[in-house]
Amino acid sequence: MDTYNSKIIPDRGKIFIGAQPLVLKGVGSKFPFTTSNNSSLPYAVNAMNFRFSVPDTITIDYGDGTVTTFNTFTYASVANVFIISANLYYTDLQAQHPVHNYADGLSIERTVKISYNRSNLIRYYQSANIGFSVQPFNFIWAAHPALQEFYLSAMSFVTTLNLDGLTANSCPFLKVLDLTCFASASEWYNHAPVSVFNIPAENLWIGSPGYSSNTTINGTNLHEIANYPIKNYLVNLRLTSMGLTDTLGLPSNWTSTNLPALRLLQISAGNAYTSIPAQVNSLTLLTQLIMSGSTALTAYGNISALKDSLVTLDWQSSTTVYSLGNYPSYFDTFTKLRSISYANCGQSTQSVCTAIVDILYNLVTRNAPLTGANNGTVPYRGMTFNLTVSTGTTAVNGTIQAPTGFVLGSSNGSPANTGEKIYILRNQYGATVLIT
């Protein structure tokens, strides 16, 4: 029996004695297991992140007789963390937790156990191909009373996660919950676990590709968000990799009356909507809407009811949004909109970049006066437009310079290309245009 901490802990009707360490299995001649050694197997380690409320220690049993205790450290200005990463690029992390090389040098299955002081843990994060051959994942919620953030992200090999012990009483400070991890064999692959909606989380990531297999949106259990206690606390909601479609839509009870705290909605990669879902128009208190990874867009949709609330509109990696043309006329009534992002929407291609700038230029010049404050008091002046791409090669047609006839405060002149329109947006209307 493992007894790194001598404690008796009740959870889900059972009694746990000792630390009950996390158990990882992977294939490799070293730990952390590298992704290349585990890409076809249901267990691998890529990134694990622990954060504690105070300076603490973490113990790793590598399964070969070596048991090492490490101190937490400060990383990226965040104190009391311990990070395990298979990415050798981060040499500073390797200095804190060196790679453990197995003496036999063989690339074989290994069992690693990780123990820590659970009463001090405030953040737990695992992502990208970190799986468990020991199912269910043995995270004991009642043993983590200080937990504030919990992430299981993009972990496609997790089939079973005990959630019954996750309650407002067991984790009263849990504000961030990310459950975008379930494998196709999981009971949660095609619908959300309703029990998690009992906690007072302010930030929720939820989703798996199997959600699209439902014939109605209520089959996903997403409508239950508006029926459980979380509805009064939820500020940021991110729907991830669900494959949702126009036919499924969004739950009809998602309104600002039923979700009074909701301010950010992200509809992420894997969703096949052809426009912003109609139900978004009932979330009249939203300040940020993110359509991420949308590749099937053919229209903007109607979000006219957000005219006095929406501050930020993000089209992240939405590769067809440039083809939608000018924004609908109802955008002319928006009073709070301050930022529109097209990050990684294909503008490394000149024709796409030209189309996006034309859309923004039209929106601003048809609404904003040539003079006025740029602090948000005058709609469409002082806007921020993000046209960046990961390659850093946004393809701007022409030179960013004043066009013929340009007069500050009185005339935009006759812009002949994309570069000159960017100049006008920046200099005549005080816009920040990010184009790297």
CA distances (Å), 325 to each of 302, 304, 352, 358, in order?
Answer: 15, 17, 11, 9
Give residue 163's pLDDT: 81
β 121-127/47-52 pair status = antiparallel
Q: How far is CA 16 from each of CA 50, 52, 127, 320, 323, rounded to the nearest angstrom?
A: 22, 22, 26, 52, 57
pLDDT of residue 188: 83
Contact 269, 293 (CB under 8 A): yes
Start-to-end CA span in the chain (Å): 55
The first and second tokens of residue 121, run together, are 């843990």
Count how many Cα atoms sit within 13 Å of the Cα of residue 311 in the half-sphere of its side chain: 9
CB 412 within 8 A of CB 428: yes
User: In this predicted structure, what is the pLDDT of residue 5?
Assistant: 44
Give, to the nearest 10 degrees, the angle between helix 350-365 and helix 418-427.
40
Per-residue pLDDT, 27: 77
Judge whether 25 and 115 are in contact, CB under 8 Å. Answer: no
pTM: 0.89
pLDDT by residue, tens only, the chain of 436 residues: 333 344 544 444 444 445 578 887 777 888 887 655 555 544 445 578 899 999 999 999 999 999 999 999 998 899 999 988 766 666 777 678 888 899 999 988 888 899 999 999 999 988 755 444 455 666 788 889 999 999 887 666 667 777 878 889 999 999 999 988 677 777 888 899 998 999 999 999 998 888 888 899 999 999 999 999 999 999 999 998 888 889 999 999 999 999 999 999 999 876 789 999 999 999 999 999 999 988 889 999 999 999 999 999 999 999 899 999 999 999 999 999 999 999 999 999 999 999 999 999 999 999 999 999 999 999 999 999 999 998 888 999 999 999 999 999 999 999 999 999 999 999 999 999 999 8
At residue 2, the pLDDT reads 35
Handedness of CA 334, 336, 338, 339 (dihedral sign): negative
Mapping DSSP onto H, E and C, the string for the chain reads CCCCCCCEEEECCEEEECCCCEEEEEEECEECCCHHHHCCCCCCCCEEEEEECCCCEEEEECCCCCEEEEECEEECCEEEEEEEECCCCCHHHHHHCCCEECCCCCCEEEEEEEEECHHHEEEEEEECCCCCCCCCECCCHHHCCCCCEEEEEEEEEECCECCCCCCCCCCCCCCEEEEEEECCCCCCCCCCCHHHHHCCCCEEEECCHHHHHCCCHHHHCHHHHHCCHHHHCCCEEEECCCCCCCCCCCCCCCCCCCCCCCCEEEECCCCCCCCCCHHHHHCCCCCEEEEECCCCCCCCCCCHHHCCCCCEEEEECCCCHHHHCCCCHHHHHCCCCCEEECCCCCCCCHHHHHHHHHHHHHHHHCCCCCCCCCCCCCCCCCCEEECCCCCCCCCCCCCCCCCEEEECCCEEEECCCHHHHHHHHHHCCCCEEECC
Q: Distance between CA 28 and CA 35 in Å, rounded? A: 10
Domain boundaries, the chain: 1-189
Using CA atoms, how far residue 344 sits from 66, 180, 268, 391, in Å, is 45, 22, 14, 9
How far is Cα 340 from Cα 176, in angstroms, rounded to an integer?
26
Three-state secondary structure string covering 144-175: CCCCCEEEEEEEEEECCECCCCCCCCCCCCCC
* CA 380/CA 323 separation, integer angstroms: 22
CA dist., res. 341 & res. 98, Å (int)? 39
| Residue 268 token pair | 């992420």
